[in-house]
Amino acid sequence: MIFRETDLNGVFIIEPEIIQDDRGFFACSWTPREFDEHGLNARLRQCNISFNKRSGTVRGMHFQNKPHQEAKLVRCTQGAIYDVAIDLRSDSPTRYQWVGAELTSDNHRMLYIPEGFAHGYQTLADSTEIFYQMSEFYHPESTGGVRWNDPAFDLTWPLAVTVIAERDATYPLIDRTNVAAP
């Protein structure tokens, strides 16, 4: 696997090294050893699949609060997404900054998002499926989020938003001077 750290410390775009032959290809998408070597949380507690019918759907920006913070490894297995991570770590020099990456079923890229980040994505194609690996179990009492269009982050989404859950659309706007890290 090829690990490329983004401008936000701890967030990586990971590309599998594809071995092709007449049958197609083979690639490794996760090994604890390689994640450990890059200082990433390699614990795997839960895997989820998300399917989205329509292009322009936004899911996010979600996180889990302490003590159940989670790292995520996100891969698009069908269709395409624009995947986004926002740094909410209180001690980070890049706090409130974000990074986005296009993940598609064709490019096979993954985005690693460490603890302390909000995460979300927008679908770029109809019938898009995403596979998540998380370092922590889901704890509903620890869930939180920030608004997908909060001016404090100045996020730029590639498409107009066509579908969004009420919860995601109505998170309160943050006060940059008074936001606890997740």
Q: Which of 38, 62, 82, 121 is catalytic?
A: 62
Task: Give the span between the Cα atoms of 18 and 23, in whole angstroms.
Answer: 13
Q: Which residues pair with 130 in a beta bridge?
A: 50, 76
Task: Give the span between the Cα atoms of 83 and 119, in whole angstroms.
Answer: 8
- Cβ-proximal residues to 162 (8 Å cutoff; 6+ apart), any chain: 54, 55, 56, 57
Active-site residue flag, 38: no
Main-chain phi, psi angles of 159, to 5 degrees: -125, 165
Task: Give the span between the Cα atoms of 91 and 108, in whole angstroms.
Answer: 32
Q: Could you give the C-alpha distances from 142 to 28, 70, 137, in angstroms and in order? A: 32, 11, 11
DSSP state, residue 136: S
- Cβ-proximal residues to 76 (8 Å cutoff; 6+ apart), any chain: 83, 103, 104, 105, 128, 129, 130, 131
Helix, coil or strand: residue 72: strand
Q: Which of 38, 96, 108, 132 is catalytic?
A: 132
Active-site residue flag, 62: yes
**Residues designated catalytic:** 62, 132
